[in-house]
Amino acid sequence: MTTASFSYHHEDQILSLRGQWTVDQYPQLLRAMLLFFRAKNADSAKQQPLQQLETSELESIDSSGASLLHYFFDHDQLTEAIQANANLSPQQQALLLTVSASLTKDAPPQPRPYRLGDGIATLGEQVIRQIKHSNSLFGFIGLTLFTFISVLLRPWRWRVTSLVYHMQHSGVHAVPIIALLTFLVGAVVAFLGATVLQDFGATIYTVDLVAYGFMRELAVLLTAILLAGRTASAYTAQIGSMKVNQEIDAMRVQGLNPIELLVIPRLIALLIMLPILTFVAMIFGILGGASVALFALDISSTQFLYIIQEIPAKHFWVGMSKAPIFAAVIAIIGCLEGFKVGKSATSVGIHTTSSVVQTIFIVILFDALAALFFMEMGW
């Protein structure tokens, strides 16, 4: 076997190939070309110019040898040199052109300098993405509402077992963590209020601060945020895993409605349980404030209860009125992101994270809008 070699003249930009440029000679040729271009003070990572390809002493060449030419020489000039070479057989010429075109197509795109319009283009892409996401969300809300009304009018299609299961896992199992969290937050709010109000001799108003805060805002907001991280993620992961395993496709093949089977029981379960959990959060948040008032502020339990009784009931209903809205947001977004999952486990994780972020953001946004609305209405 003739040893493969080459020569390259920088002045004339002529490359001469000799011997057999095959896979057996690939390591030797690669080292030789790297050493040659480095010795000539040329950047070996940069493709060299080429005007003429001399192959009169070339015995054979395969795809590995052809790839070396692509790596070291400019693609357009190499293509022209191959097409102008009369010593190459039609098979060799076709091989060189095919390998060069294939490697050029698979090469990563070269970064271009930043332009002034790139920021506007990126903003436009984000806006279009958000519009598409909003369209899919509103469409899913409409489909869920239509299915909900359809099932509600047909009691024989109610999924009672699934409903009770999701009520237990989404609601009952969340009671301990919600009770502990709101109790601690209530104690923290009472300490904070007492620290500020004692300078004005108004420590007694700490009771009102805790009661008003949990009845109107903190109880429903903390409960919704906790369920957004706990339940929305669970809904997305459950439905996403079913989609990865093609269980949802199997439901459709059997003529079953995935919205009716998977979404409606979860939605109704949260619509029932979130107001109950909100009430639990109110009770334990106020108990947390009462414990601080009793042991640190010298406010007796009798006095604490008397102040609580004087608070108008409308503040309780203001807080409770937001619970069904937050429940619908958590259930719908959690299920929608589950249906968006692709065919990989990575997609399940991505959409689970997305569902948590979206639900928390929308819950806080709706809570802020509701606070402005109730303030303007004087409620």
pLDDT in tens, 181-234: 999 999 998 888 888 877 777 778 888 888 888 888 889 999 999 999 889 999
Compute φ and ψ for 49, nearest 5 degrees.
Answer: -70, 150
Of the candidate ranges 190-204, 227-241, 259-273, 358-372, the one whose mean pLDDT is the lowest:
190-204
Give the pairing type, strands 14-21 and 5-9: antiparallel
Q: Taking residues 14-29, what's their average pLDDT?
A: 81
Q: pLDDT band at 324, cuts 50/70/90?
A: very high
The confidence score (pLDDT) of residue 2 equals 64
All residues at 6 or more sequence positions from 2 whose CB lies less than 8 Å from its CB, including other chains: 18, 19, 20, 59
Positive/negative CA dihedral, 323, 324, 329, 331: positive
Range list for CATH 3.30.750 in the chain: 5-106
More confident residue, 121 or 227: 227
- How far is residue 69's CA from residue 99's CA, in Å, rounded to a whole number? 10
Residue 245: exposure state from Cβ atoms within 10 A (0-12, 13-18, ≥19): exposed
pLDDT digits 0-9 by tens, 143-173: 888 888 888 888 888 888 888 988 898 888 9
Question: pTM score, two decimals?
Answer: 0.67
Task: Determine the pLDDT at residue 328.
Answer: 92
Q: Which CATH class is domain 5-106?
A: alpha beta
Mean of pLDDT values over 85-92: 79
- Most confident range (mean pLDDT) of 27-41, 106-120, 248-262, 268-282 is 268-282
pLDDT of residue 225: 92
Kind plus residue range of the DSSP H or E element containing 54: strand 52-61
What average pLDDT does the segment 64-72 reach? 78
The predicted structure's pLDDT at residue 92:
79
Q: 41-53, pLDDT tens digit by residue?
A: 554 455 677 778 7
Q: Given this model, what pLDDT does residue 44 score? A: 47
H helices within the chain, ranges in order? 26-39, 63-72, 75-84, 90-106, 118-152, 160-170, 175-197, 206-213, 219-227, 233-244, 247-253, 258, 264-295, 301-309, 314-321, 323-339, 345-377
